[in-house]
Amino acid sequence: MLAMTAHHEGRLRGFRADVAFDGDRALDGGALVLIADKVIVGVEPASAAAPAGCDVTYAPGTTLLPGLIDTHVHLCGDGTPQALDKLPELSADELTDIIATALQTQLRAGVTSVRDLGDIDWAVVDRRGNRPGEPHVMASGPPITSVGGHCANMGGAVAGRAALVAAVRERAERGVDTVKIMTSGGLMTVATDVLACQFTLDEVRLVVREAHRMGLSVTAHAHALAAVEQSVEAGVDGIEHGTCFTAEGLRTPPELAARIAAARIAVGPTLGMDHSVPVLPRIQAALQRTGTTWELRLAQAREMYDAGVLLISGSDAGITPGKRHGILPEAVVELSTIGATAAEALASATGLAADACGLADRTGRLRPGLAADLLVVDGNALADVRALRAPRTVVARGRAGSMP
């Protein structure tokens, strides 16, 4: 039994389930999680009696776990085919509405924290405020990219060492939570090359050094094998996608995977997609050009997993109809299909995700003193992670809502 914290404020409430996952491991016999106001104040076995006067929510056949963390979203994207292309045309009010809708959609899917890795004109950074009834938001602002590079229309294009240093310092002054750099081209920007690097190794090293000097982590968008290698050599903290594209298809050299694993660089493979939605023509063309299929993508992610690489779940939500907001459970499901155990897959979107995003002292686990971010799903998620597709109750910083 884990002791309750000695002091708490607000009305005591409890959430009980016969199956529970605490962000790292299964809790034998389930759990009774006690919350007061916005904080977890106790975690006890499901069989424990609740304190007098404590209202308890309980439904047989459910699993209780921390609220999910989507480590890679684009809240400015509305999930339409032109979601990123049209960003410069949107007014501030339109962006505000899109962001608010995206956050509500994420919450309904069980996501209580998101890390936005690319907005336009600081729309997400400036809007942060952790409003009641919305997921907690971390944000990078416009990604640092090359002139004419991937997502340059978001406003983060720079050239030269002085401009790179200035870009990092601007982000620090704006109060971003992490620095995002586009080290390769991307599938969503037609004029860029997913097989090519956008910066030199010395330039990426400069960004990492300057960000670390200011207490900021760096995560690198990297599709090309050369860009993944460059990112590792530069000492980034995280890699987004990590697909290792080459002219001959996807290939993860074993020695590279071993280096990533040894350095404990968090890789977000951005799995999870609505496969019932047709792939956009521009993406289909790029996949055909590189001889890539989704099956090969999963196989490449399996290479990372087998090498012991730290994999976290982020969905890249908002960029296309197939990558709509709230798709994160599918990323967790697909991680389980490449060999991850249910506990590993769940941790990729809870405890491990919190660690990678710098949220471990705030959320991601069922621990007294952490935020009351909880998720109750129908079914046994430790037997089948597809249970995440059926959220029953979502609690974000103590505010509970039942799903339809």
Q: Is the dihedral of CA 140, 281, 94, 155 positive or negative?
A: positive
150 and 247, same domain (yes or no): yes
Domain count, the chain: 2
Between CA 340 and CA 354 the distance in angstroms is: 18
Shared domain for 216 and 348, answered yes or no, is yes
Match 């404020």 to its residue by tokens. 9
98/220 same-domain check? yes
Paired tokens of 388:
């995440």
Are 339 and 225 in a shared domain?
Answer: yes
Whether 32 is covered by a domain: the verdict is yes
Reported pTM: 0.95
Per-residue pLDDT of the chain (404 residues; tens, 9 = 90+): 333 333 445 689 999 999 999 999 999 999 999 999 899 999 999 999 999 999 999 999 999 999 999 999 999 999 999 999 999 999 999 999 999 999 999 999 999 999 999 999 999 999 987 777 899 999 999 999 999 999 999 999 999 999 999 999 999 999 999 999 999 988 777 778 888 999 999 999 999 999 999 999 999 999 999 999 999 999 999 999 999 998 888 889 999 999 999 999 999 999 999 989 887 887 777 777 777 888 999 999 999 999 999 999 999 999 999 999 999 999 999 999 999 999 999 999 999 999 999 999 999 999 999 999 999 999 999 999 999 999 999 999 999 876 66
Task: For residues 180 and 41, give the distance between their C-alpha atoms in angstroms, rounded to a whole number.
Answer: 35
Tell me the pairing of strands 68-73 and 111-116: parallel
Q: Which residue has the tokens 């339109």?
A: 94
The answer to whether 116 and 73 have CB atoms below 8 angstroms apart is yes
Dihedral pair phi/psi, residue 167, rounded to 5°: -65, -45
Residues 224 and 313 reside in one and the same domain: yes
Q: Is 258 a member of any domain? A: yes
Give dist(CA 306, CA 339) in Å, integer.
8
Could you tell me if 130 and 38 lie in one domain?
no
For the record, the structure tokens of 200 come out as 């030199």
Host domain of residue 22 = 12-66+365-402
Whether residues 127 and 42 fall in one domain:
no
